[in-house]
Amino acid sequence: MQPATASPIFLLAPPRSCSTVTVAMLAQHPQIYGFPELLLFTAPTVGALLGQRQEDVGLPDDWIERRLSGLYRAVAEVHRGSQDPAAIDWARAWLAERAHWPTSRLMRHLVEAVRPRVALEKSPETVTRDGALERCMTAFPDARYIHLTRHPAATVRSMKENWRTLFTGLDAEAFHALCVRAWCLAHLRILRALEKVPPRNRMRIKAEDVLRDPEGALSQVVRRLGLDWNETIAKSVRSPERWRFGGLGPAGRLYGGDWKFLTSPALRTPQPEEGSAAEDLGRGLEERPRAALAALMRRLGYT
């Protein structure tokens, strides 16, 4: 990969893939600035992003403000050095004044604002919505990409726990199939997109490896990025709770990542996945999607 002075790093992963804790751990590196979820590539302009409603993103209205709070936090922290209510209100106004900006311009602004540290960002919606990943890669052709995977059984289980209130009209089998498809489609979108990226600018890691052996897994990531690695850094990555965007902010109402991690930031060891073969996960799917799931699990090293 290119040296740390080059373009930003984007971590690509479906929802419920341990991406928040992974960013929080990498953000403990003194040369990395880990952002919360900015969602910038889900819309062409800042105004379009701020104006998204339920019909645009398929989420209840009470989730809309919450999902944008990562962007508010980032702008407030970068410009005001705070995430208190006054700083968040300032960030809202600052963004509203720049509604005409392309979202790629805002991303470049934030990347420059945190130099000499290299910017690291992840937003699962970048890989779950048509056009978002293409918008990211077009805006930053020299960016570095980390493809983060998590066992589909664990991912689907987490999706079910966190998405049930969004899909109350589906029975258990249909809801299971929806979650499996979400895992497959996001990873297939990432794999197709990264085929266009030079090998030096992309890598793949497993969330299970990151959580079980942070020093071993993240040392490889950091060295591929051309950054420093030593015993002090190795120790620091075990403290994701020290991330500047960990927790829910001074007022306890800010998000910008996995709500479970933000509510109680900590490094947790994953449980081994047993009895989770492709045929078990593929129940409720037709033959072709079930075969595609099995092939993708093999490709990503989960069989």
pLDDT in tens, 203-219: 999 999 999 999 999 99
In angstroms, rounded to a whole number, what is the distance separating the alpha carbons of residues 48 and 136? 16
Instruction: Over range 224-239, report the average pLDDT.
Output: 96
The DSSP line for 55-102 is HHHSS-HHHHHHHHHHHHHHHHHHHHS--SHHHHHHHHHHHHHTTTSB
Residue 275 pLDDT class (50, 70, 90 cuts)? very low
- Give the highest mean pLDDT range of 4-13, 46-55, 59-68, 139-148: 139-148
pLDDT digits (tens, 9 = 90+) for 236-266: 999 999 999 999 999 898 999 999 999 999 9
- What confidence category does residue 58 fall into, taking pLDDT thresholds of 50, 70 and 90? low
pLDDT of residue 3: 45
How many of the other CB atoms lie within 10 Å of CB of 253?
12
- pLDDT tens for 99-155 read 999 999 999 999 999 999 999 999 999 999 879 999 999 999 999 999 999 999 999
pLDDT at residue 274 greater than cutoff 70: no
pLDDT confidence of residue 280: 74
